[in-house]
Chain A
Amino acid sequence: MAVMTMIQAITDAMRVEMERDENIIVLGEDVGVNGGVFRATDGLQEKFGENRVFDTPLAESGIVGTAVTMAALGMRPIAEIQFGGFVYECMDQIATQAGRLRFRTGGRFQVPLVVRTPYGGGAKTPEMHSDSFEAYFLHTPGVKVVVPSNPYDAKGLLISAIRDNDPVIFYENMPLYRSVKQEVPEDAYTVPIGKANVVKEGTDVTVIAYGNMVRLSQDAIAAVEKERGVNIELIDLRTISPLDMDTIFESVDKTGRVVVVHEAVRTGGVGAEIIARINEEKILKLEAPCVRVTAPDTPYPPTLVEDKWLPSKGRIAAGIKKVLDF
């Protein structure tokens, strides 16, 4: 075991997989010599050479689109989109091309592609960098969406994503890159896609979160538990698509009260989908209406406003109390 930050765990996942399979390549803007703007690909070009790790032209559609055919023709590309806010530039290549090629060709072609991208608020980036667009891909058949919340999961999930035969959008929360350290096995291991993690068991409320919101929810939960003497369950989704509803339903059976936390804007978000599914299957188990703690429906705010805009420990705590007090 080694102690790693999330970004080290991400680099390590690529390194161990690239050692195993020479068809795995890395491509993106500044991922070679520079090792990525966050250093996620640090040392990979040095180790694997310029024919495995590519500094591509600055063009997101080109990056993902070339990776689509390379994947369909037998490679296993890991494409980096430098910031999650830039993903519209390659929306066609992800949603229409990568996500549909297996479907269109009745299974003749598959697209084992990983699109890694940093996202999430709090890093004080320039505008149009930090947005959380994961719900678009939850709405997109044919692609999977993964969001780790810690170094161990990041490495295991990224290895699963690389080995998956369908396109996976791999979201990396920027503030989490270096803020948490954890023991991470040095060899390859997998954390399964499509399986949520019950971070903390509880009986009174279910809090569902992912990415950086897991850590924030933990703080809020501790505060409410202390204040109210309740026992709150926390689920880290880990995968946005496909959603692990079995784990959520099991929790709802116990608690009957649900809070979904995400930093993406509220309308049409991941929370909406989860709550709709809870309504479809578990309406009679509910003791209170499900609550969403999210950012408001605006574009991502200017830097100095972002901390007030993002869900906070206090707002999450208020959401939990709302379902408790209903």
Chain B
Amino acid sequence: MLQILDTEGKLVKGQKAPNLSDDELKDIYRWMLRLRVYDALSIKLNRQGRLGFYAPLGGQEACQIGSMAALRKTDWLFPSYRDLGASLYHGWSIKDTYLWSRGQINGMKIPDDVNLFPPQIIIASQCIHAAGAGWKFNLKNEDHVAITFFGDGATSQGDFHEGLNFAAVYNAPVIFFNQNNGYAISVPLHKQTKSETIAQKALAYGMKGIRIDGNDILAVYKAVSEAAERARNGEGPTLIEAVTYRLGPHSMSGDDPTRYRPKSEEEEWKEGKDPVTRFRLYLESKNLWTEEWENEIEKEMKDEISVAIKEVQKAPIGEVEEIMEYVYEEMPVELKKQHAEVLSWKGAK
């Protein structure tokens, strides 16, 4: 397992830190902290009834930021619903993620200049989509990479297999980023697969596979940088297994992790292996971190979230007749008829 920073934020013997400037290191930390705040506040807003569906990402910040920091804005991201952190880093707005979470219209109307697909709900379906994107980049000689995120449970799906197989066969520039957080909702990995690791599955597809410490952001950055370089050099896809941990519940819909994992395990990951703390310790050792700076970042993110949630609460929730416009390029006759019918519901009790 590739690890560059140990749990105390020190360089592992024999490992070299990736070539990142102080400003770049600081920006990566800033984003990790932004996600930490986003996660905590989104959970709170959900509990207050101000947000809808939310899949906590706390504990997986290194996976989502380290990977996207190693890519270009022109690269394409195919996230699952837990990857709002990667999506935010890639250019989606807090406001849009909240519109989506709440189930308001236009939540997934991703701006044209953000190379992002809407969060995938069907587990592993996005593996095939990333393969298709990479295949297209090859056909059109486009210098992009497609990255997709999925959990350990997704690796049991047929679409995981089909996605990896297609990408390998077409030598597509794709990074399959597996966030192995140990549980698919409640089912532990050992009930999911007999394979010792997820990374080893890459071998069967004829692609490069690597297992990394997903809570070590420098390892994530390095693995994704190398995978992207290979992809752009025409060396095809990579499967990255990032070993990490979801500190919160699966979602905010009543999931209680104490039913399926010991509290001690949670504590161990929270106290000893936390990705944000680890990277902070590293920055501290390089004199790149101060408490004032940390407070500043936190305050800035809290303010942004507070503005975003107020905006979405004031934004239109959407009307049935509006959503009818996006089913086809042109509304078929029957839908037009139903559109008129929907308008006639207005004012009806």
Contacts and interface: CB of A to CB of B under 8 A. Distances in A.
A165 interface: yes
A243 B109 contact: no
Contact of A246 (B128, B166, B323, B333): B333
Interface in A68-90: 68-70, 72-75
Contacts of B325: 107
B163 A106 contact: no
B125 A92 contact: yes
A242 B128 contact: no
Contact of A93 (B128, B323, B327): B128
- Classify the interface of chain B: helix, strand, loop or mixed: helix
Contact of A245 (B76, B130, B139, B334): B334
Interface in B76-114: 76, 78, 105-106, 108-110, 112
Interface in A257-291: 277
Interface residues of A, number: 45
A65 B329 contact: no
B234 to A, nearest CB: 14
Contacts of A57: 162, 165-166, 169
A70 B136 contact: yes
A71 to B, nearest CB: 9
Contacts of A246: 333
A51 B327 CA distance: 31
A73 B108 contact: no
B125 A65 contact: yes
B319 to A, nearest CB: 13
A105 B128 contact: no
B289 to A, nearest CB: 39
Contacts of B130: 69
Contact of A141 (B125, B166, B327, B333): B327
A193 to B, nearest CB: 9
Contacts of A166: 328-329
Interface in B210-249: none
B30 interface: no
A67 interface: yes
A68 B129 contact: yes
B165 A68 contact: no
A96 B166 contact: no
A187 to B, nearest CB: 25
B122 interface: yes
A206 interface: no
A61 B110 contact: no
Interface string B115-142: 0011000100100111111011001100
A51 B129 CA distance: 19
Contacts of B133: 69-70, 73
Contacts of B165: 57, 59, 62
B162 A242 contact: no
A219 B9 CA distance: 82
Interface in A277-326: 277
B163 A62 contact: yes
B345 interface: no
A175 interface: no
B326 A69 contact: no
Contacts of B347: none
A165 B329 contact: yes
A203 interface: no
Given A62-B165, A105-B109, A106-B108, A142 B328 contact: yes
Interface string B168-184: 01000000000000000
Contacts of A74: 136, 140
Contact of A102 (B136, B328, B332): B328
B316 interface: no
A231 to B, nearest CB: 28
B56 to A, nearest CB: 23
Contact of B125 (A56, A93, A242): A93
Nearest to A96: B122
Contacts of A141: 327
A244 B122 CA distance: 33
A51 B158 CA distance: 26
> Could you say which of B110, B132, B333 has the most chain A C-beta atoms within 10 Å of its C-beta?
B132
A104 B118 contact: yes
Nearest to B337: A245
B278 to A, nearest CB: 35
Nearest to A72: B117
A110 B327 CA distance: 10
Q: Which of B136, B158, B165, B329 has the most CB of A within 10 A?
A: B136
Given A62-B166, A242-B332, A242-B333, A69 B132 contact: yes
B326 A107 contact: yes
B325 to A, nearest CB: 8
Interface string A159-200: 000001110000000000000000000000000001000000
A62 B205 CA distance: 14
Contacts of A107: 109, 325-326
Interface in A224-271: 241-246
Given A66-B131, A164-B329, 20 more contacts: A57-B162, A59-B162, A59-B166, A61-B158, A62-B131, A62-B162, A62-B165, A67-B132, A69-B117, A73-B133, A92-B125, A106-B109, A108-B108, A108-B109, A109-B117, A142-B328, A144-B328, A165-B329, A166-B329, A241-B332
11 contacts: A62-B165, A65-B162, A69-B117, A69-B129, A72-B117, A73-B133, A75-B136, A93-B128, A96-B125, A106-B108, A194-B333
Give the 8 A-B CB pairs with smallest separation, nearest first.
A65-B128, A66-B132, A106-B109, A242-B332, A69-B132, A62-B162, A59-B162, A69-B129
